[in-house]
Chain A
C-alpha cells in the first residue's frame, strides 16, 4: 500500500493544468524589484545605492543575523532606486529596483565540477552565501535548517517532492528537467547534514518524475525514491516525515528531534547550483495557472520580475479574473495587484475567475465534525474558531491552537462555509503578540 500520513488530510481535485509544460525561460523584463525580505527572519541590509552598476549574481543585500539570508541581483543593470513596494502580504516592504541592461553575470558563476573535497561546513557556508531559502514556500533559510541545535543529530534527509497543492507543477517539471542536478544537490545536502540516508517522497500522480528519479538514484548510494498516495497537506514537514519514516514530531518540536531534516526538491536544485556553479539564488520556476487562463505554463524567471509579465506569457489576465493568488489555492496569498514581484518562495501564480473568487456567506456550524475528521494535526478546528471568537486565550493554548499549520483544509471542507482558518490565524497571531509582550 502507498505511504501517506496517518491523521486527517483531504483529496482536492489536482488541476495540474501545466504538468506537461516544459519550463520556458522568460525573456528579461525591463525592470526588476528585489525585495529585501524574501525569507523568514530579519530582512537583508542593502549594500548598493542608487546609480550603482550590478551584474546578475552581485550581492546587493547582506544577511542581518543568523536567521536571515543575503539577496543577490538577478539581472545586470543599474540600481534605479530603493523604495517600499507592495509585496504578497499586501503591505509595503523595502525593495531594490534595478533597470535591466544586457545580461552580464558575475565571473564567479561557472560551470563547475562536483566538489568531493568540500567539508560539511564549507557546503553550508556556500549555501548561506547563495541566499538559499526553502523553496517550497516556507522560505526558512536553508543553512539554519542544516545547522541543528546542539545535542540533536540528524539521521535522515527527507526531500519533499510531494507537491500536494492543487494546480502547482513547478517542482514536478523541475524534477523532470533537472533530475540529475537534484540528485547531486541531495548528495551535497546529505554531506552538509552528515547523514547517510535520503528519502525523496513524490506523490504518485507524478509517475514520470518517480520513474526518472528512481532510475537516476539507482546508481547513487543512500538515496531512495518513495511514491506517496496523493493527499493534502503531504508537503508539510511534519506530515511528510510521518508518511515516510512513521515518526511524529511532537508539538512545538523541530523535525530534527525525530532525526529528520526536510528540504524541498527545488531547494536541492538551488544547492547544486550554489555549490557546483557558485550561482546564488537569482531565478526559479514559477507555475502560472488557472482554469480560465489561455496558456497555463511553467516559467523560469529571475527573482524580482513583476508577475504581470509572467501572466502575459501565459496569455494575459483574462477579463473575468476576480483573484490573483501567489502560491497554491489552499495556502497561497491573494495579491493586491499584478505588480508584485517574484520572490524566492513564490511557487506559482493562480488566477481565479470572479465567479469562483467570492466566498459564500457563512452559516451556523451544523457540527458535522468534518473539520475535525480532516485536520492533519488532530485538532478541533470548529472549537478553535469558537474560542478565537470568544477570546478565550488559555483554552486556545490548551487546545493546541499553535500546532495548526494553516493548511486550510477545515475551511475547504466546511459545508457551512465558515471562515474557520481566518479565526484560527487571528487567534494564533494574538497568542504570539501576547507571548512577545511578556
Chain B
C-alpha cells in the first residue's frame, strides 16, 4: 500500500474504549433493581410515572437541542434517560401526568439545557425538577401511596405517611427494618428499597462508574450525626439505622450525589462534599420544617462544588518524599 494516507496525530494512539454512553447506561442498569421493586409495591402508578418522566425528559432535551440551541442532538448519550428515571424515582407514584411534565421541563430545561447541556450544569437536573415541584405542588408531592402488591391504582391510590413524616410529627408506628430494607413502605417510588439501591451501588462500584468516597462519606456523616443526637435524647430522635434506611438518603447518596457533573473531582473534595450533604440532610430532618432534606442538601453542596474544586487539590507526586 502507499503510505501517503497515514493518519498523523499526537499520542496516545490507543483508547480505553470507555465512553459517555457506557457510564450513563451503566447507571441505568444499576437503577433497574430499585425500579423493579417500585413496580412490585406501587404497581401501575410507578410504571406510568417512570414512563412519562423518562419520555418527557428525552423529548424536552431533543426539542430544545433541535429548535432552541440548534446544535448536535445528544439524547442518545443516556443522560436524559437517567434524569428522567431519577426524577421519577423522586416522585410519588400517584403524581398526575401534567405535574410530571412540568417537573421534566424544569429538570431538563432549567436544570440542564440552560447551562449548555450535559457537562455544564451546576445542579443535579433531576433534583432541580423535584425541588421545583415540591415547592410548587406541596400537596401532591407529599401524598404518598400505601405500598401494595402490584396495585393497579394510579392517582386514585390510598395515601399514607412516610417514615420521616412520622418522625417529624411523632405519630404512627415506623415500618419494620424488614420493610425498610425491602421497600414495602410509603415514599417516593424509587427511594424505598434499601437492598435494591445498595445492589445498584455495588454494581456501579464494580464497574468503576463511581468511587466509594461520596456515598460512604454521606452515610458515615449521617450515622455519626444522628447517632450523637440519639445518644443525647433517644425519645426525641430516631436511631441512626432508621435515618439511614428512610427517605431519599440511599437513593441520594448512591445515585444523585455521585452525579459526575455536579460533584467534586478529587477524592478529598468528594468526601468534603459528602460530609456536607450528610450534615445538611440531618439538620433539615431534625431541626427544619421539612421532614426530608436530602434533595436540598445535595443541591446546596452542588453549589459548593466549584469552590471545592478550586481549593482541594489532589496529592501531587513529589509532595510526599521519602515516607516509605
Which residues of chain A have a CB within 8 Å of any CB of chain B? Answer: 7, 10, 12, 90, 166, 238, 242, 245-251, 253, 258, 317-319, 321-325, 329-338, 350, 352, 354, 356-360, 363-370, 372-373, 375-380, 382-383, 399-400, 403, 406, 408-409, 411-417, 419, 421-422, 425
Contact = CB atoms under 8 A, between A and B. Distances in A.
A421 B6 CA distance: 21
Given A251-B316, A321-B6, A376-B317, A369 B260 contact: yes
A369 B271 CA distance: 14
B135 interface: no
B119 A324 contact: no
Nearest to A365: B119
B318 interface: yes
Contacts of B118: 364, 366
Interface string B304-324: 000001000111111111111
Closest 4 pairs (CB-CB, A-B): A246-B324, A408-B12, A364-B119, A378-B316
Contacts of A380: 265-266, 313-314
A338 B6 CA distance: 10
26 contacts: A12-B16, A238-B317, A246-B322, A248-B322, A322-B7, A332-B11, A334-B6, A334-B9, A352-B13, A360-B15, A364-B118, A365-B119, A366-B119, A366-B261, A367-B119, A367-B261, A372-B265, A377-B318, A378-B315, A379-B316, A380-B265, A380-B313, A403-B316, A412-B16, A421-B12, A425-B10
Contacts of A357: 7, 13
Given A334-B7, A336-B6, A358-B7, A251 B13 contact: no
A288 to B, nearest CB: 15
A142 B322 CA distance: 26
B324 A373 contact: no
Given A367-B261, A377-B316, A412 B15 contact: yes
B1 interface: yes
B211 interface: yes
A250 B6 contact: no
Contact of A319 (B1, B262, B313, B316): B1
B22 interface: yes
Contacts of B20: 363, 366, 415-416
B19 A415 contact: yes
B1 A330 contact: no
Interface of B: 1, 3-4, 6-16, 18-20, 22-23, 74, 77, 116-120, 211, 260-267, 309, 313-324
Contacts of B320: 248
B15 A253 contact: no
B317 A7 contact: yes
| Most chain B CB within a 10 A radius of its CB, from A249, A331, A334, A419 | A334
Nearest to B79: A366
A406 B10 CA distance: 11
Contacts of A378: 314-317, 319
Contacts of A325: 11, 13
